[in-house]
Amino acid sequence: MKKYLGLIVLTALAGTTVLAVNATPSDKQARSSNTVSDAQISQLDKRLGERIVEQQELLAMVEKLLKMDYAQKVLQSPEMGNILSGRAKPPAQSAAPAAVKGVKTKAAAPPPPPPWWLPYKPQMVYLSGEDRYVVVNGKMRMTGQTLGDDVVVDKIEDDLVVLRLGSEHHSFFLKK
């Protein structure tokens, strides 16, 4: 077995060498074809870059021509001619929009103040014989007592509380 081991190793080495030699030309061909395609790609890329630069230059020229044409039209307009010759003054800039003839404008009225009774929330009524109490915004009051800002508890019943400010009254109906 030892005799043949060397022969087997030599045969295997010879086979790999043959394979490497046979593979070498095809690798060279593949590399040369890649080189050709790389050269073609770089050439196309260069031409594309040149075209883009040409397009940008053309766009800049068109933009200049359009600006010149617009400026010429403005300068040749009758209004500008009057302004340049001193026969007319430029239009004044006003902050307010021009009024339409025949239409009267009216300043917007401020919103009305909220009702005086809006901040008051009666929460419950306590009745015991002749004593009548109401809890409004967490404060217990009897008939005739004030809640602040001259608001007076005017009337207390089992499902009704009346508050008064001056001569105005507002009734709150309580749920049972």
**pLDDT tens digits along 77-100:** 776 666 666 665 655 655 555 555
The pTM (predicted TM-score) of the whole model is: 0.40
Model confidence at 165: pLDDT above 90: yes
Model confidence at 103: pLDDT above 80: no
| pLDDT score recorded for residue 34 | 62
Listed in sequence order, the DSSP H helices in the chain are 2-76, 78-85
> Which DSSP helix (H) or strand (E) runs through 127?
strand 122-128
Nearest to 115 by CA among 61, 147, 151: 151
| Mean pLDDT of all residues belonging to the chain | 76
Nearest to 147 by CA among 135, 131, 159, 132: 135
Which of 83-97, 106-120, 127-141 is the most confident on average?
127-141
Listed in sequence order, the DSSP H helices in 77-166 are 78-85
